[in-house]
């Protein structure tokens, strides 16, 4: 039987010790640990990788420290627009939602799309109409507000004004901060892989921008033949590089290991485009990878041969 395990991330970007208080650092580690334990306990008891990644992401959506669910960033117009996706590596079934505004836990709706519809991706009003039909509780926009995210929006907008940035370029500064996405990948005792990703998007984004998280093959991918991947960072670059699927293809067609393919995906291909961020992955043997080309990425893993591990900075 293959080993089992779970890997998570909570966003990548300019995350440095100089910008972190001891109290906040402790809180992030606690949030990552809670997510890891929730997913690992499902795997350890014989549950599915799909249930494990779903639960791990759900826990981070409930934590206002992370840019997903309760802690979602603000768009330029002062609202919250969220994306999420989940994928089953055994069946290649997928569910994703984009641009939803009133869904308490977007990963929940993404899973319902996978299990209750013939579709892969639902967006905006249509996704929310489906949520109502499923009896999901709809939250007012204010539910997602946090002071930290409001300050982040004001800081990005001030920088934009100082540099007299054009509207077309606006929103890109959000990638310089904590590019928030949460994600999980897992392998269960039956040898099945799964991946899930959820995000509040990019601070100060305009025009209904959608990132890589709900785009299968860009920010989320799982296939029992190769790996399960969840990405975080400047989503436009992950979309252009089709990073998650490209990594899987390097394993399937070139025979690269998970670690080798992940290094090429992040440090060669994404970097060549000017993209910043990171990804997590796990393969059918239980090997894992956590790659980033940014100063930090909230991340962790829990494998059956050890204690849960969490980290924030690149040098950990």
CATH number for the domain harbouring residue 131: 3.60.20.30
Residue 246: predicted pLDDT? 98
- Tell me the three state secondary structure of residue 20: coil
> Taking the CB of residue 129, how many other CB atoms lie within 10 A of it?
11
Residue 117 pLDDT: 98
- Say whether 181 is catalytic: yes
- Residues 64, 65, 66, 71: what is their CA dihedral angle, to the nearest 10 degrees? 30
In this structure, the chain runs to a length of: 316
pLDDT of residue 173: 41
Instruction: Give me the helix-helix angle, 106-116 and 49-61, nearest 10°.
Output: 150
Cα maximum dimension of the chain: 58
Residue 130, CB-side half-sphere exposure with 13 Å CA sphere: 25
The alpha helices in 173-212, defined as continuous H runs, are: none
The number of folded domains in the chain is 1
Q: Which residues of 273-285 are buried (b: 16+ CB within 10 A; e: fewer)?
A: eebbbbbbbbbbe
Catalytic, out of 16, 75, 117, 181: 181
Rounded Cα–Cα distance for residues 227 and 204 (Å): 33
pLDDT value of position 166: 52
What pLDDT does residue 226 have? 98
Closest CA to 189 of 36, 54, 47, 303: 47
| Inter-residue long-range contacts of 250-257, CB under 8 Å, 24+ positions, other chains counted | 251/226, 251/227, 251/283, 252/225, 252/226, 257/283, 257/287
Q: What phi and psi, each to the nearest 5 degrees, are found at residue 67?
A: -80, 70
- What is the extent of the structural domain holding 11? 5-313
pLDDT in tens, the chain (316 residues): 568 999 999 999 989 999 899 999 999 999 999 999 999 999 999 999 999 999 999 999 999 999 999 999 999 999 999 999 999 999 999 999 999 999 999 999 999 999 999 999 999 999 999 999 999 989 999 999 999 899 989 988 888 777 765 544 444 444 444 457 999 999 999 999 999 999 999 999 989 999 999 999 999 999 999 999 999 999 999 999 999 999 999 999 999 999 999 999 999 999 999 999 999 999 999 999 999 999 999 999 999 988 999 999 999 9
Which H/E stretch holds residue 282? strand 277-282
Question: What pLDDT does residue 137 have?
Answer: 86
Structure tokens at 140: 């007012």
- Identify the pLDDT of residue 14: 86
Which residues have C-beta within 8 Å of that of residue 127, sequence separation ≥ 6? Answer: 97, 98, 99, 100, 103, 109, 113
Q: Are 301 and 307 in contact (CB under 8 A)?
A: no
Integer Cα distance of 258 and 251 in angstroms: 7
How far is it, in rounded angstroms, from Cα 143 to Cα 141?
A: 5
């Amino acid at each position: 039987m293959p080993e089992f395990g779970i890997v998570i991330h909570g966003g990548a970007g300019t995350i440095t010790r100089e910008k972190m208080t001891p109290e906040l650092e402790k809180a992030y580690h606690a949030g990552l640990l809670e997510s890891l334990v929730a997913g690992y306990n499902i795997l350890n008891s014989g549950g599915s990788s799909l249930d494990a990644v779903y639960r791990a992401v759900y826990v981070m959506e409930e934590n206002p420290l992370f840019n997903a669910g309760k802690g979602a960033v603000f768009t330029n117009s002062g609202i919250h627009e969220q994306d999420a996706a989940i994928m089953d590596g055994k069946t290649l079934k997928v569910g994703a939602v984009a641009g939803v505004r009133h869904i308490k836990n977007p990963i929940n709706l993404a899973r319902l799309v996978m299990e209750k519809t013939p579709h892969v991706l639902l967006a905006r009003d249509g996704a929310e109409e489906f949520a109502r039909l499923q009896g999901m509780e709809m939250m007012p926009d204010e539910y997602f507000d946090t002071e930290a995210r409001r300050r982040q929006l004001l800081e990005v907008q001030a920088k934009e004004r100082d540099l007299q940035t054009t509207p077309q370029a606006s929103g890109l500064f959000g990638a310089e901060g904590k590019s928030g996405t949460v994600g999980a990948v897992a392998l269960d005792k039956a040898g099945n892989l799964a991946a899930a990703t959820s995000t509040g998007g990019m601070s100060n984004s305009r025009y209904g921008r959608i990132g890589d998280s709900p785009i299968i093959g860009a920010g989320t991918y799982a296939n029992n033949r190769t790996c399960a991947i969840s990405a975080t960072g400047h989503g436009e670059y992950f979309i252009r590089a089709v990073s998650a699927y490209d990594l899987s293809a390097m394993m399937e067609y070139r025979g690269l290991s998970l670690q080798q393919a992940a290094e090429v995906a992040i440090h060669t291909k994404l970097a060549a485009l000017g993209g910043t961020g990171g990804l997590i992955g796990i393969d059918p043997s239980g090997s894992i990878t956590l790659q980033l080309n940014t100063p930090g990425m909230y991340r962790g893993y829990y494998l059956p041969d050890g204690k849960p591990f969490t980290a924030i900075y690149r040098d950990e």
